[in-house]
Amino acid sequence: MRRRLLTLLVLFAAVTANAAPAARPPVTALRITVLSTMLTGGKGIGEWGFAALVEVNGRKLLFDTGNRPDTVLNNARDLNLDLTGITEVVLSHNHQDHVGGLLTLRRAFSEDTPDVFSRVHIAEGALLSRGPGDYDDDDNPLIAIRTAYVKTGGFFIEHASPVELLPGVWFTGPIPRVHPDEQPVPPGWVLRAPDGKLIPDTTPDDAALVFDTPKGLVVLTGCGHAGLINTLEYARVITSRPDAPIYAATGGFHLFRSPDGTLAWTIKKLRALDLKNIHGGHCSGLEIVYLLRRDLGLPREAAAVAAVGSWFDLEKGIHPLDIAR
């Protein structure tokens, strides 16, 4: 009996020794610094647009490129932020206020360092025609920008599904519209269907970055045309963390035109997602950020409007700059 027990203990010890350790969320260092939005904290200029520098586990990514050609380049210089060495650009969707600085950034660095800003990640649908418009006879500026960008030696990577760009850093690709009415299509937004007809443009290419951290999920959005709740819930799905708190939501949430009923529903959903920090810029809406802070019961330091130069840090939280406190 004792010999049998000893054998079982030896076998248990061997199995335990060979067992893989429990998986730990891989993002342990993260800072997201705003480079384009309407509000400025004293350095840089504001605009209707969005862009952010992402520093994660010793690597850098650029998320969106602002509206005007020179905004992000000049704001980075004013803020003493080093953009050299960044190869990956992530574009949240095709709209001008998120893609306008791409060519300027690529041309500013590519002659001396060809790899800088040489890879652009987009979600499927970003290059579809939006019908007649002001950008080489199309209303999708990214089509013409891509043509010029490819001539510099860079290339686009289109994703139809989620992809892990770096350990624990997920690009969502197209986001399922589980709640289809969360973001109604604005009047006049059209998309050219395969048969040539113009149909309502739901911005099917709207995408986000998700960071899997020990504190929960951090989600960075450009405009949130897929819906903030759709995006945050999908972040849990693609990271296989169905109960993870949303430690932070940062970027543009496109809530500035939301009616009171929609906002009440959004707040209820955010409570269920256990949102801890909110850093809302661009199309989030100034008043909306403060309303969310109040109704979610967040402390002042955990909810702020994003300004150029402000940042969210995984360890230090939100640094809003004086203007947005």
Query: Would you say 126 and 205 are in contact if contact means Cβ atoms under 8 Å apart?
Result: yes
Task: Give the residues of the chain that fall short of pLDDT 50.
Answer: 1-22
Whole-number pLDDT of residue 323: 81
| SS3 annotation, 278-294 | EEEEHHHCHHHHHHHHH
- pLDDT, tens digit, 9 for 90 and up, residues 102-134: 999 999 999 889 999 999 999 999 999 999 998
Instruction: Classify burial at 198, counting beta carbons within 10 Å of its beta carbon; exposed 0-12, middle 13-18, buried 19 or more.
Output: middle
Pairing of strands 155-159, 208-213: unpaired
Give me the pLDDT at residue 54, please. Answer: 98
- Look at residue 22 in the predicted model and tell me its pLDDT: 47
Bridge partners, residue 155, by sequence: 119
pLDDT digits (tens, 9 = 90+) for 251-268: 999 999 999 999 999 999
- The predicted pLDDT at position 20 comes to 39
In tens, the pLDDT along 20-64 reads 344 678 999 999 999 999 999 889 999 999 999 999 999 999 999
Any idea what DSSP says for residue 302? G
Domain 25-324, architecture per CATH = 4-Layer Sandwich (3.60)
Which segments of 48-118 are extended strands (E)? 51-56, 59-63, 88-90
pLDDT for res 14? 36
- Strands lying side by side in the sheet with 277-281: 163-166, 169-171, 208-213, 216-221, 246-252, 277-281, 303-305
Report the pLDDT value the prediction gives residue 42, as an integer from 0 to 100.
Answer: 86
Query: Whole-angstrom Cα distance, residue 26 to residue 181?
Result: 34
**Which residue ranges make up each domain of the chain?**
25-324
pTM of this prediction?
0.92
Give the pLDDT of residue 23: 66
For residue 98, what are the contacts with CB-CB under 8 A and spacing of at least 6?
49, 50, 51, 64, 65, 66, 67, 91, 92, 222, 223
